[in-house]
């Protein structure tokens, strides 16, 4: 690809006149120079670093349309609203559009009127939609939240896998991939999936000194509710409370409303109107607290969020950093609080158990489909469950979801399913299952790293940065809860540790998780009696007793449950 010479003077004028900004933030100039020179680029920049400007500003100085891939309708709406406020033409293409609105959008795109077209990855996998762009000038192809493309990312979405083909179908315009969270393995995988080995990478780092990370240890649901109420009472300004389930969103919202707080719910099972109205109220300042699943927040540009509380343990540090990083985008101090209860890990472990089907289940469902749909007809879910009696009924939809993601199965009207790719051998199916086994192991490892973050006595920021492969010349950030209590013993996390479920003595899915020893537990030790756990390092447990003495024991020597 030929590189163009870049004159930043006209871009700086647009920066001032259109966006009202005096200068670039760290990393923005490097990304914009690369884009303007026609260089395919991956930008890893923390939330609040101004990733959107990296495509919005160049788009106004390039001749054609800019196509942006965005994973969430709420994210698209927020981005389009911001562009409208700047007086820029933009269309969003998603399921929230009415038939009339979609017709207007397609007509405008055909006439090359909009400067920006935002679309879901599913839309860009649709050949008919891509045909709309045939012969049109596309100057920039943007993939927002590109970590969704990687099977090793925390929010992998199979619909992203078709974006390499979509990029080719659009004529391979300059590509800009954006994310706030990417480990080295995710970066490598994104480069491979896009088929761009010389992808130029701008990584501005993860550390945001204005974010104050804290963990509140809680023993019961009542303790957690009291802790939440205390944090929200202390906090000033608007914020987000994240939960891991829709049920928890409903419960926490009702609890906060009963306590007289201005709170509203947000999750994927709500109607589009309620989600839109709740988002607008929150963005406009009419709502202080939004209680949500992770369906809310990705890319939401509200700079004055003063706190993000996680009511439940997230499944990975990537998810946690991405979600907590929505606080303090204006650079002012903001709190990021995790309310940690040991039982929360069981919820995430259960999710993992239900996310990935077993090899024999994949094979059984596939063969049942092949037998029932040999003439290309479709079969209902109950019929398919009956045709594969060796597979638990609740697992059949999981297998179907996997096969749909891989374009092996298509869902027809009336929840009926048919094969798109027949003739697969058992070996092919076993290879698919093996890939998902590896993904499941990786997800389990991530969960254990998240648990270690919740339990560690190390600087919270240090743990986060090391997870993302970043080294620092300091040991303590000075602001997190661990750094504010320097007398707390430090647990040195091993650089290379086996986080497999076997090594961690864990069980998943419907099996109970083995009890663990954690900082703050009150345990009984033979001879010495009751003591409080101060630190846990591998198989060593450090405990403090009523007489003030501190001793270390092997984990197996203490009773692994509260005394």
pLDDT tens digits for 143-170? 998 988 886 666 777 778 889 989 999 9
| Alpha carbon distance 61, 36 (integer Å) | 8
What was the pLDDT predicted at 490?
Answer: 41
CB of 317 within 8 A of CB of 458? Answer: no
- Of all residues in the chain, the percent with pLDDT exceeding 90 is 34
**Contact yes or no for 365/396 (Cβ under 8 A):** yes
What pLDDT band is residue 511 in, cutting at 50, 70 and 90? very low
CA neighbor of 322 nearest in space, from 299, 306, 304: 299
Helical segments of 111-220, H only: 121-124, 127-131, 163-169, 184-194
- Flag whether pLDDT at 471 surpasses 60: yes
Banded model confidence at residue 505, pLDDT cuts 50, 70, 90: very low
Which of the pair, 291 or 85, is modelled with greater confidence? 291
Tokens of 123: 């839309």
Collapsed DSSP state (helix, strand, coil) of residue 281: helix
CA distance 181 to 185: 11
Highest mean pLDDT among 30-39, 387-396, 430-439: 30-39
Average pLDDT over residues 33-45: 93
d(CA 55, CA 115): 11
**CA dihedral (437, 443, 445, 448) positive or negative:** negative
Q: Which domains does the chain have, with CATH numbers?
A: 9-203 (3.40.50.300), 211-341 (3.40.50.300), 342-456+493-507 (1.10.10.10), 515-563 (2.30.30.140)
Other beta carbons within 10 angstroms of residue 135's beta carbon come to: 9
In this prediction, residues 531-539 reach a mean pLDDT of 77
In the sheet with 41-44, reading across from the earlier edge strand, the strands are 90-93, 116-119, 65-69, 138-143, 174-179, 41-44, 200-203
pLDDT of amino acid 493 = 38
| Pair 476, 319: CB distance under 8 Å | no
DSSP strands (E only) in 295-362: 307-310, 334-340
CB of 66 closer than 8 Å to CB of 116: yes
Residue 556 binned pLDDT confidence (cut-offs 50, 70, 90): low
Average pLDDT, whole number, for the chain? 83
Residue 516's alpha-carbon distances to 148, 259, 506, 552, in angstroms, are: 32, 34, 9, 16
Residue 514 has pLDDT above 70, yes or no: no
How far is the C-alpha of 434 from the C-alpha of 430, rounded, in Å?
Answer: 6
CB 118 within 8 A of CB 158: no
Do 163 and 149 contact (CB within 8 A), yes or no? yes
pLDDT band at 433 (very low <50, low <70, confident <90, very high): confident
With bands split at pLDDT 50, 70 and 90, how would you rate the model's confidence at 508? very low
Q: How far apart are CA 43 and CA 28, in angstroms?
A: 9
Find the range with the poorest average confidence among 198-207, 228-237, 355-364.
355-364
Per-residue pLDDT, averaged over 56-67, amounts to 93
Strands 307-310 and 334-340, by their bridges, are parallel
Are 305 and 239 in contact by the 8 Å Cβ rule? The answer is yes
């Amino acid at each position: 690809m030929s590189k163009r010479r870049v004159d930043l003077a006209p871009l700086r004028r647009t920066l001032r006149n259109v966006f009202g900004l005096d200068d670039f933030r760290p990393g923005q100039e490097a990304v914009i120079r690369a884009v303007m020179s026609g260089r395919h680029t991956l930008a890893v920049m923390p939330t609040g670093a101004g990733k959107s400007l990296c495509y919005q500003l160049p788009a106004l100085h390039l001749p054609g349309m800019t196509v942006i891939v965005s994973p969430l309708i709420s994210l698209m709406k927020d981005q389009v609203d911001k562009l409208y406020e700047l007086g820029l033409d933009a269309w969003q293409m998603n399921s929230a559009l009415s038939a009339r609105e979609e017709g207007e959008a397609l007509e405008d795109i055909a006439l090359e009127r909009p400067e920006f077209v935002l679309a879901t990855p599913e839309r860009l996998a649709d050949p008919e939609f891509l045909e709309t762009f045939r012969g049109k000038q596309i100057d920039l192809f943007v993939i927002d939240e590109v970590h969704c493309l990687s099977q090793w990312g925390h929010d992998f979405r199979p619909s992203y896998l078709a974006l390499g083909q979509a990029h080719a179908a659009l004529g391979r315009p300059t590509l800009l991939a954006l994310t706030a969270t990417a480990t080295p393995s995710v970066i490598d995988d994104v480069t491979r999936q896009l088929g761009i080995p010389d992808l130029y990478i701008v990584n501005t780092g993860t550390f945001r000194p204005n974010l104050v990370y804290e963990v509140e240890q809680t023993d019961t649901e009542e303790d957690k509710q009291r802790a939440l109420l205390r944090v929200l009472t202390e906090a000033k300004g608007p914020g987000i409370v994240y939960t891991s389930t829709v049920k928890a969103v409903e419960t926490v919202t009702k609890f906060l409303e009963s306590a007289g707080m201005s709170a509203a719910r947000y999750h994927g099972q709500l109607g589009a109107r309620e989600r839109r109205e709740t988002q607008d109220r929150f963005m406009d300042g009419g709502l202080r607290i939004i209680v949500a699943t992770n369906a809310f927040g990705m890319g939401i540009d509200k700079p004055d969020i003063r706190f993000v509380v996680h009511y439940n343990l997230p499944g990975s540090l990537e998810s946690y950093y991405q979600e907590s990083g929505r606080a303090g985008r204006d650079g002012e101090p903001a709190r990021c609080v995790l309310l940690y209860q040991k039982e929360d890990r069981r919820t995430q472990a259960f999710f993992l158990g239900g996310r990935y089907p077993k090899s024999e289940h994949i094979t059984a469902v596939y063969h049942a489909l092949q037998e029932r749909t040999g003439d290309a007809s479709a079969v209902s879910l109950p019929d398919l469950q009956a045709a594969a009696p060796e597979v638990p009924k609740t697992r059949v939809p999981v297998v179907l979801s996997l096969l749909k993601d891989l374009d092996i199965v298509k869902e027809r009207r009336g929840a009926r399913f048919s094969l798109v790719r027949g003739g697969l051998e058992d070996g092919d199916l076993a290879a698919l299952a093996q890939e998902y086994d590896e993904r499941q192991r990786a997800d389990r490892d991530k969960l254990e790293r998240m648990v270690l973050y919740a339990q560690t006595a190390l600087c919270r920021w240090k743990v986060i940065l090391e997870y993302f492969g970043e080294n620092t010349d300091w040991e303590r950030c000075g602001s997190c809860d661990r750094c504010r209590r320097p007398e707390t013993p430090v647990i040195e996390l091993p650089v290379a540790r086996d986080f497999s479920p076997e090594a961690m003595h864990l069980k998943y899915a419907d099996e109970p998780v083995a009890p663990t020893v954690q900082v703050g537990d009150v345990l009984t030790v033979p001879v010495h009696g009751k003591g409080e756990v101060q630190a846990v390092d591998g198989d060593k447990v450090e405990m403090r007793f009523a007489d003030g003495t501190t001793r270390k024991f092997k984990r197996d020597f203490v009773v692994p449950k509260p005394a």
